[in-house]
Structures are given as C-alpha cells and as structure tokens.
Amino acid sequence: MRNTAVVMYQTSNSKGQELVAQRMVKWLRRLGVKAWLVTSVYHDGKKVVTLGKDKYALFPKDPYVKIPVVRVAGYKCKWPPRRVMIAGLTEVMNALHSELGIDAIITHSTIWNGPEEVAKWVMWRKLYSLTTGKGTSPIYAHMSHYQPPDPIRYSEIERTYRVSWNKLAFPQIFRAADMILCVTPLEAEEMVLLGASPTKIHVYPGGLDDDEAKLIDEAKPDLVLEKYKLPKDKYLVTYLGTIERRKNPLAIVRVAAKLRRRKDTAFVIAGKPGNQYEEVITEGRKLKNLYILGELTDEEKASLIKASYINIIMSKMEALGLAQVEFMYGGVPVVTSAVYGQKWVIRHFIEGLHVGGPNDVDGAAKAVEVLLEDQELYLNLSENARIRAKSFLASKLTKNLIERMKTIYEIHNKIPELGVVHAGKPALRGGRENIKQ
C-alpha cells in the first residue's frame, strides 16, 4: 500500500477520538506506510486555516498536530452538537486519489458526514475497478469509537438522533467496509448486533503513544510537585482529563470531600476547562485536600502520572479511556466508574477497582481507602496495570493493523472475482477470535 487516508472531522490536542486518529497517522508513517490525516480546517472547535478558493490544502507537517494533514473546507453545525461537517468530501477524495493514489482509507467517529460519503466513494471505486478492470480497489476501514445512546449521558433529542444515524448510516458503512475497527471487544459485540460481519471486526484499542510512554518512563515527579506546590508527603489521587460533564470530575470533588479528614491523602484535578469547570471550581474551592491545576503540557502530565498513587475516573461514558492506559503504564492503579470500555481495560481487582457507576461517590471513597490501606493489593494491581498497558502500545497495535490491511489489499487487487465486499478466509484474522481478546 502506498498511501492511506485517515479521515476525522477535526484535530485536537486533548480529545480522545481525534488523538486516536492522529496517532494512527503518526504510527502508520513510522512503520512505513505513507499516511495522511484528512480533516477540516478546525482544531479543537476553532477555525485555524483559511483556504480561500481552494477546496483543500496539504500540510506535510501540520503546525497544530505535527503530522501530515490535508485540511479541507468545512463548517461547524449546531446539530448534531460537537461536530464539524466537511464540504465536498467526495470531490476532494477524487482529487487526492489522483494526486497521491489512495490504497486504503480509514474513517473515524459517527454522526457526521465523513463516514457516509467515504462509504459511497469507496463503493464506487470498487465497482469501477471490478467492472472496468482499471485501477486498484482501495480498502476501507471504519472506526466508530461507538458509545451507546445512553439516557444517562444524552438528552432524548440527541439520543434519538444517534439511534436514527445508527440505523441509517451503519448498514451502508458495514457493506462498503472491509474492516470495522473497534476500541474494545464490548464495542465489537455491539457492532455485530448492529449488523457488522464478525469476520470484518478488528480490535484496535487506540493505543498508548510510544513517545508518551517514554516520557512517563523518564519523568521526574518533582517537576509537577514543585511547579504547582503539591504536597510531597501525601498520596496523590489524581483525575486527568477535560473538566466536562461526561467525565464527571465533580464526583471526584465529592470523593475528596468524603476523605477530607485523611491527613495522608490529597486529590488533584488536572485538565482543560470544559462545561463542568465552574461547578468544579465552586464546589472544590472550600476543600484543603483538593488541588485544581488546569491544562498541563505533555511533560507535566507525565510528571503528574509519576507523582500519583491512584488514578480516579468517575466518567458517565468512556469508549476506552486513554488517560487510564497512561496511568496504568506508570504503574498507577485505577479507581473507575467502570462504564462501557472502562470495565474491559481496567479489570476489577486486577488493574484497579470498579465502583457502582458514576454517582457512587461513597463506593469510590471506600475504594480509595482500600488501596491506601492494603499495600499488598496495591502492589499487585500496580504491577498488573503496567503489564496490561504495555500491550496497548501504539506501535504494536498499528503493526497488527498494517498486516491485516495489506492482506486484504492484496486479495482485492490480485483476485478481483471475490467481488465488491471482501469475503475470504484471510478476513478471519482478528475476527471472532479478535472479539474475545
């Protein structure tokens, strides 16, 4: 394969789905595949490029995410919320295919126009190659980062919109796609129930960037302890992530309140301000055992991981939880609400402790105390956490992805009589067996 296009609606330095797409491009290139991120002119919701009359612009090293990026004209929409639509994507894909030659394309996320338009474009390319014998047939993978339309997180309006998108868009994506990339085996099961072929499933948990892993290995706790005047004589129980309602850091404030009489423990909340920031500040300012740091640099984040004793996350919904993998790599056990992907990546009493959901403040406080008081359990969980996190290194995950993509590509373009939808034995690699990982 010469060129791979990874398609995501915007770039970001903090949001999980965007980071996965960006890291995918980075590690595809590191491992010898020429990959480009095809995205909009938006970065973290702000327009950062003006194209003028051009429909797209190629940046060999995008200044915002430091990887090769194709920025395409787009617009922020009020509905669905939190999404950017890319304008004229099919026309742009044709132009990029002529200019670069696209052998594989991977779309990310849901409820935006990218996956639908790419599915149609790929189906056309496959049919054209099959019927005319001209050109090669690109392979297509889709990664939904699927999160169930849960009433705990979504309003009735947004929930029904998501269900409608799933019913209308997924069938055409599943038909056009050669691979369905899933963050966890739990998501894989959901995709099969929604209509995906089990033979197309490939579990790709997003991955811990090897460069960030190295930062954690080399980090010094004193960097963050001294800069933010954190106590060196206390166990740090840390939340790291956007201060938003979905991730529910307000619950961590309430856990800190429950444990405010412990003299050996302090809580830290660090991350980019979001839609729960004011509530966290208001309720947290009266607690002497709570430190709110704001957004950190990569070096500071690695230092905080090294300085922490426990990671805590009380999220209402998580496809996986990249921050938890980072803490686990640092040997830090996790106390988690255990929603969706969290209950797979962090196993109860193996790498951390599960509590009874995002509102179980009492259970979280008890779990923290268990880890503070049971040293043998803590050490076992710490060792297990680091071992498990190493299996999520981006280099390993992407190497496996490339191997499967190459197999499918060779079958498509050497045995065209297999038809539009790949249905050969090689697709079984990472299929049902992969779901059970």
Q: What is the C-alpha separation between 52 and 251, in angstroms, rounded?
A: 46
* Domain endpoint, select from 374, 390, 406: 390
Give yes or no: residues 50 and 138 share one domain: yes
Residues 200 and 219 in one domain: no
With contact defined as beta carbons under 8 Å apart, do 416 and 125 qualify? no
248 and 276 inside one domain? yes
Q: Do both 309 and 402 map to the same domain?
A: no
> Residue 288 phi/psi, 5° resolution?
-80, -15
Residues 214 and 165 in one domain: no
**Pair (380, 234) in one structural domain:** yes
For residue 80, whether the previous peptide bond is cis, meaning omega lies within 30 degrees of 0, is yes
Number of domains in the chain: 2
Are 270 and 230 a contacting pair, CB within 8 Å? no
CATH classification of the domain holding 150: 3.40.50.2000
Whether residue 318 contacts residue 342, with contact meaning beta carbons closer than 8 Å, is answered with yes
Please answer whether residues 319 and 146 qualify as being in contact, where contact means their C-beta atoms are separated by less than 8 angstroms. Answer: yes
In this predicted structure, what is the pLDDT of residue 427?
33
Nearest C-alpha neighbor of 199 from the set 434, 437, 436: 434
Give the number of other Cβ atoms within 10 Å of residue 153's Cβ: 18
* Distance between CA atoms of residues 59 and 390, nearest Å: 32
User: Residue length, the chain?
Assistant: 437
Q: 395 φ, ψ to 5°?
A: -60, -45
Residue 27 CA to residue 199 CA, distance in Å, equals: 25
Q: Do 113 and 87 meet the contact criterion of CB atoms below 8 Å apart?
A: no
Same domain, 54 and 197: yes
Residues 29 and 127 grouped into a single domain: yes
CA separation for the pair 248, 361 (Å, rounded): 11
The 3-class SS string of the chain reads CCEEEEECCCECCCCHHHHHHHHHHHHHHHCCCEEEEEEECEECCEECCCCCCCCEEEECCCCCCCCCEEEECEEEECCCCCEEEECCHHHHHHHHHHHCCCCEEEEECCCCHHHHHHHHHHHHHHHHHHHHCCCCCCEEEEECCCCCCCCCCCCHHHHHHHHHHHHHHHHHHHHHCCEEEECCHHHHHHHHHCCCCHHHEEECCCCECHHHHHHHHHCCHHHHHHHCCCCCCCEEEEEECCECCCCCHHHHHHHHHHCCCCCCEEEEEECCECCCHHHHHHHHCCCCCEEEEECCCHHHHHHHHHHCCEEEECCCCCCCCHHHHHHHHCCCCEEECCCCCHHHHCCECCCEEECCCCCCHHHHHHHHHHHHHCHHHHHHHHHHHHHHHHCCEHHHHHHHHHHHHHHHHHHHHHCHHHCCCCCCHHHHCCCHHHHCC
Residues 340 and 192 reside in one and the same domain? no
Domain enclosing residue 19, as ranges: 3-207+394-435
Assess whether 319 and 355 both reside in one domain: yes
355 in the same domain as 278: yes
State the pLDDT at residue 151: 78
| Same domain membership, residue 216 and residue 188 | no
Per-residue model confidence as pLDDT tens for the chain (437 residues): 679 999 999 999 888 899 999 999 999 999 999 999 999 999 999 999 999 888 899 999 999 999 999 999 999 998 887 899 999 999 999 999 988 889 999 999 999 999 999 999 999 988 888 888 887 778 999 999 998 887 777 888 888 989 999 999 999 999 999 999 999 999 999 999 999 999 999 999 988 999 999 999 999 999 999 999 999 999 999 999 999 999 999 999 999 999 999 999 999 999 999 999 999 999 999 999 999 999 999 999 999 999 999 999 999 999 899 999 999 999 999 999 999 999 999 999 999 999 999 999 999 999 999 999 999 999 999 999 999 999 999 999 999 999 999 999 888 776 444 444 433 333 323 333 333 33
